[in-house]
Structure 1
């Protein structure tokens, strides 16, 4: 693993307006509250990971921040602007969201996909420009996908495709980037590549918020861990002060040991087997005489012996 990259831009940004500020946010569906009373203040230039069990409101929170799901109450400010007071196109200049299972047009090339990231910057009075083309080139270079620009997206591996989707988000050029499970369905090697890239994105001064099911990965790559349960934030802070045995038990009803990773001492979650003294927690029933008899005496006769 590599140390987290930092840049002067990221450091300077942390001393100014918060990259993302959420206050008293409530969101849900008719008769079903999902997100309840969420408060967040996240600096620019850092990665925050939202963790928690399935159905706890993680994705709904991201959609409310991205101006895709209107909250019942509360406010969302991205780079100082109230997202829900802006039009959709203006909001897309502030916040970009990569959903968990994005769909691309059939046969689209990598370069074509990344160009979609510039759509919010187009309009009647502003057509495709050198600035847009440069943003696409920069995004391809930043994600290591420039050599794939002419390839069809549907012919790439899962890890390559995810880097291309991230390039599209970077081309949108927003101060806040939201990623819903960016490493889902990736093997360990590709997952690490994507998480390292997420760190590099934050190092440019952006605020990155990702939903992450892997608690160990969240603790390793995020500056802030946000733990949700039943629609509420029950804990948030730096990983080494937040991820502990009690949190794992509260979130997942699971006993675990928390170790320290070599190098940066980030928390490593080691679940305990649900056994006692090396034996299953509940003993199986005693075998019947038939179960304990030699197979040749209990098996039904074969056709050859009838």
Structure 2
């Protein structure tokens, strides 16, 4: 399960005092791929993502991003390899969209390296990639939810990391904006980056991901292509739900049709 680039996690255990949350996690996602972590509430998805992002120190195990062990790097060095968009990001009051996206360049700044033309180019490219260039002068808090989410994604892209982590990037969005964001995620991966996101919508994860990583009770119980991984047995094990699995027209991705709740 070794990759020369992308993201690798080996033997990762993480939790809080007296409570193990992530147990012996093993995963690998190649550069240019999208992986979705799915599973019931409280199964450890966000804790795993935070440990990968170096925001939560694991009890044991390794995380390698683009070939480097992130826990052997400085915080700034790690931030040049992994960008995280949390579930509920917060911005300074009255910040403009351009101001927000510029924050993505902070890991590249330092005493001997101030704002440069390369930084300005990275910001412009991120705004263009997310279709937010016309919003650059607008205040973030005056935009719609879908617009704000694209702006946050622009900030993550401006960080110019080979690995991008997204914690429920489509939560609270309507269906149209969900599709916009997920198609943008596919474009980010097509540029050669590795994208790992936490997803509650199993059907969306199956449609837009190369790999599905299923978690239950802190453990990864299945991972692989959506067609090979998402089936009736997995849905029942994850969600205690009986469901039919249909195939979407065009790409034959799995579509989950719930039937009834399983009596436990």
Give the whole-Å Cα distance in 2 for the aligned partners of 1:120 and 1:89.
5
Q: How do 1:49-68 and structure 2 match up within 5 A?
A: 49-68=36-55
List aligned pairs for 1:262-277, cutoff 5 A. Answer: 262-273=249-260
Map 1:37-186 → 2, pairs under 5 A: 37-186=24-173
Give me the whole-angstrom Cα distance separating, in 2, the residues matched to 1:21 and 1:34: 19
Report the equivalent of 1:32: 19
Match of residue 205, structure 2, among 201, 218, 221: 218
Contact 1:93/1:174 (8 A) holds in 2 = yes
CA contact (8 A) 2:3 2:28 kept: no
> Residue 273 of structure 1: CA displacement?
3.8
Does the CA contact (< 8 Å) of 1:18 and 1:41 recur in 2? no
Q: Distance in 2 between matches of 1:153 and 1:130?
A: 24
Give the Cα separation in 1 of the matches to 2:247 and 2:13. Answer: 36
1:198 maps to 185
Q: What SS does the aligned partner of 2:241 have?
A: coil
Map 1:242-281 onto structure 2 (within 5 A).
242-273=229-260
Moved over 4 A (4+): none
CA distance in 1, matches of 2:84, 2:45: 13
Partner of 2:218: 231
CA distance in 2, matches of 1:59, 1:18: 23
How far is the alpha carbon of 1:17 from its aligned partner? Answer: 1.1
Offset, 1:135: 0.2
- Rate the CA distance shift 1:269–1:34 in 2: closer, same or farther, 3 A: same
Pair 1:240–1:112, CA change in 2 (3 A): same
**Alignment partners' CA distance in 1, 2:14 and 2:34:** 23
Name the SS of the counterpart of 1:193 in structure 2. helix
* Structure with greater proportional strand content: 2
TM-score computed with the length of structure 1 as normaliser = 0.84
Is the CA contact 1:60–1:69 (under 8 Å) kept in the aligned structure 2? yes
Q: Is the 8 A contact 2:127 2:151 kept in 1?
A: yes
What residue number does 1:9 align with? none
Q: What do residues 153-206 of structure 1 show as CA deviations (whole Å, max 9, x unaligned)? A: 001000000000000000000000000000000000000000000000000000
Shift of 1:41: 1.2
In 2, Cα distance between the equivalents of 1:62 and 1:125? 32
1:7-40 CA-to-partner distances (Å, cap 9, x unmatched) read xxxxxxxx97130010000000011000000011
Q: Which residue of 1 aligns with 2:196?
A: 209
What CA distance in whole angstroms lies between the structure 2 residues aligned with 1:270 and 1:68?
36
Cα pair distance change 1:50/1:16, threshold 3 Å? closer
Bigger Cα Rg: 1
Alignment coverage as a number of residue pairs? 262
